[in-house]
């Protein structure tokens, strides 16, 4: 996308309370091919992510790296294979069943395709009234109408009085995404999980939607997850960035720290291959990321090792623990850890 290269996000605030958290979660999908042969897709492996009040975390990584799956686990969309999801520090118990209304009145998920998320047969009014009535009691029709118009104003879906009777197909792409965001806000959530909310929109209106998300974060102290392939928009919007590769979270921390000083070889490759308006790199020089691994049979150890220019023996067998490289900036990489003796000696010999 073409956003202004100006970095306008606030710095990450590590003191802000954590609202929603994925703690060492994994998700494996059992699938069958057309010949009936079964396999297991290791979509997310041991991933941890924290969403803090009034902060936006951008989750970045190439296609198929598990970003949507992690967001859906956070949204209690389907059960975790292992690990847990915590809301205000309390484990969200999968045994209570999905669609738990109390949970979804606090955590809302926005998908990338606004059309698919709306009822196309019904006008804006109906789409919003339905969401409002799910979580609030209204005795007075006028009060409900007032709330619908207020929601539309909050997301700049205006003039509200004119658009309230429009059908989704009569709205522009940007207006439809505003409607989807308004519907998510109808329940007064504390957490918004936005899965590529601008990727299907015209380049000209992407910045408006990012600015809307930022205003909502600031005015309502929302904790937000922003999933994107686009580093420039992550840099524009997010307080913190977290990077996923093939289902594993490999690096995270304050946005500028991660982007200016990436620690993991995958993050370095991802940044070098992304067009950055501030970079001196010619777009023609952009690096190829290569092929991501098959998650039905992922590489052992660090899943990036087959593509990593610095891979060592231990990377092939053991996923590294998390190490903090600077304030709040962490990575899972053996280059930043003490290796077992023999490995360390071998690496030192190779360097001399």
Distance from C-alpha of 219 to C-alpha of 293, rounded to nearest angstrom: 41
* Residue 66 per-residue DSSP state: S
Q: Residue 50 or residue 68: which is nearer to ligand ATP going by CB? A: 68
Question: In this chain, which stretch among 47-55, 64-72, 87-95, 117-125 interacts with ligand ATP, using CB under 6 A?
Answer: 64-72
> What count of other Cβ atoms lies within 10 Å of the Cβ of residue 66?
25
Closest CA to 255 of 2, 22, 57, 90: 57
- Verify binding: residue 31, ligand ATP, rule CB under 6 A: yes
- Verify binding: residue 253, ligand ATP, rule CB under 6 A: no
Question: In this chain, which stretch among 67-75, 143-151, 173-181, 211-219 interacts with ligand ATP, using CB under 6 A?
Answer: 67-75
Least Cβ distance, residue 320 to ligand ATP (angstroms): 21
Among 52, 67, 235, 339, binds ligand ATP (CB under 6 A): 67
Q: Residue 112 or residue 331: which is nearer to ligand ATP going by CB? A: 112
* 182 Cβ contact partners less than 8 Å away, ≥ 6 residues apart: 128, 151, 152, 154, 155, 157
Among 20, 47, 57, 61, binds ligand ATP (CB under 6 A): 61
Q: Residue 46 or residue 145: which is nearer to ligand ATP going by CB? A: 46
- Verify binding: residue 242, ligand ATP, rule CB under 6 A: no
Q: Residue 149 or residue 209: which is nearer to ligand ATP going by CB? A: 209
Question: In this chain, which stretch among 15-23, 58-66, 162-170, 207-215 interacts with ligand ATP, using CB under 6 A?
Answer: 58-66
* Residue 172 per-residue DSSP state: -
**DSSP line for 212-250:** HHHHHHHHHT-EEEEEES-HHHHHHH-SEEEEEETTEEE
Q: Residue 65 or residue 257: which is nearer to ligand ATP going by CB? A: 65
- Verify binding: residue 265, ligand ATP, rule CB under 6 A: no
Give, as ranges, the residues between 112 and 151 that touch ligand ATP (CB under 6 A).
none
Residue 245 main-chain phi, psi, to 5 deg: -135, 120
Q: Is 37 exposed, middle or buried (0-12, 13-18, 19+ CB in 10 A)?
A: exposed
* Cα 22 → chain centroid: 12
Q: Look-up: residue for tokens 């047969």? A: 121
Question: In this chain, which stretch among 57-65, 118-126, 160-168, 302-310 interacts with ligand ATP, using CB under 6 A?
Answer: 57-65
* Cα 113 → chain centroid: 15
Q: Residue 21 or residue 45: which is nearer to ligand ATP going by CB? A: 45
Closest CA to 331 of 246, 260, 242: 242
- Verify binding: residue 69, ligand ATP, rule CB under 6 A: yes
Binding mask 268-307 for ligand ATP (x = CB under 6 A): ---------------------------x------------
Q: Look-up: residue for tokens 């936005």? A: 194
- Verify binding: residue 235, ligand ATP, rule CB under 6 A: no
234 near 314, Cβ under 8 Å? no
**Residues of this chain that bind ligand ATP (CB under 6 A):** 29, 31, 41, 43, 61, 63-69, 295
């Amino acid at each position: 996308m073409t956003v202004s290269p100006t970095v306008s996000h606030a710095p990450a605030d590590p003191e802000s309370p954590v609202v929603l958290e994925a703690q060492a979660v994994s998700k494996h999908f059992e699938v069958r091919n057309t010949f009936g042969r079964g396999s297991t897709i290791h979509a997310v492996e041991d991933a941890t992510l924290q969403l803090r009040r009034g902060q936006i975390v951008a989750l970045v990584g190439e296609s198929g790296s598990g970003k949507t799956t992690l967001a859906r686990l956070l949204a209690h969309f389907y059960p975790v294979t292992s690990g847990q999801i915590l809301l205000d520090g309390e484990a969200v118990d999968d045994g209570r069943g999905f669609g738990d209304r109390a949970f979804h009145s606090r955590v809302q998920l926005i998908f990338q395709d606004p059309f698919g998320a709306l009822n196309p047969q019904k006008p804006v009014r109906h789409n919003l009234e339905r969401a409002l009535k799910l979580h609030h009691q209204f005795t007075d029709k006028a009060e409900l109408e007032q709330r619908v118009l207020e929601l539309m104003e909050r997301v700049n879906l205006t003039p509200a009085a004119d658009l309230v009777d429009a059908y989704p197909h009569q709205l522009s792409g940007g207006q439809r995404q505003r409607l989807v965001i308004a519907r998510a806000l109808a329940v007064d959530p504390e957490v918004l999980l936005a899965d590529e909310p601008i990727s299907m929109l015209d380049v000209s209106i992407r910045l408006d939607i990012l600015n809307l998300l930022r205003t909502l974060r600031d005015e309502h102290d929302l904790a937000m997850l922003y999933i994107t392939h686009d580093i420039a928009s992550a840099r524009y919007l997010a307080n913190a960035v977290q990077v996923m590769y093939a289902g594993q979270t490999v690096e995270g921390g304050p946005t500028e720290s991660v982007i200016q000083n990436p620690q993991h070889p995958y993050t370095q490759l991802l940044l070098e291959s992304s067009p950055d308006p501030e970079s001196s790199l010619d777009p023609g020089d952009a690096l190829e990321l290569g092929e991501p691994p098959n998650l039905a049979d992922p590489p052992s150890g660090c899943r990036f090792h087959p593509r990593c220019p610095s891979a060592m023996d231990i990377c092939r067998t053991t996923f590294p623990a998390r190490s903090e490289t600077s304030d709040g900036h962490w990575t899972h990489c053996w280059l930043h850890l003490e290796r077992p003796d023999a490995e360390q000696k071998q690496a030192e010999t190779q360097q001399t």
